[in-house]
Chains A and B, each alone.
Chain A
Amino acid sequence: MATIASLKKGQRGIIKEFSVDVVPLKLLEMGCLPGNEVALVQTAPFQDPLYLNINGSHLAIRKETAAQIEIDIVD
């Protein structure tokens, strides 16, 4: 099962449905919504946190949050 945490650098995916109990509202408001495209721009040293481009917004989140969000990998 692919999640945002399993993206490789430069890879893109489409966010699948997720539950509000695991993904904070704040992240949704910043554009992390089901159906949106997410790309991994860069990882920090030790592979955490992740620097993402979600729907045109550049954000960084921690790996454990990223691992909660399922995606379909595009390429």
Chain B
Amino acid sequence: MNDKVHIFDKPQNVRRVLWALVAVCIVTIGADFFYHRHIVHPWEGVWGFYAIYGFVACVVLVLVAKELRKLLMRAEDYYDRDG
């Protein structure tokens, strides 16, 4: 392919994005040390609750969905065939 090199064609740029994400994660969870949230429910007050819940929720979501494929996945033309 002879077109120009785009921003994410360079692996170091992808790495930069990932490191930026890590930095943002550290900053936001670090904020929990000195920012006192007002809370409605005691769970909200647990240190890093939203961060940990978000991370775990997504990992669980993907792992369960991956397992569900074994149960649910059929060929693309499944409904187009007789059977």
Do the two chains belong together in a single complex?
no
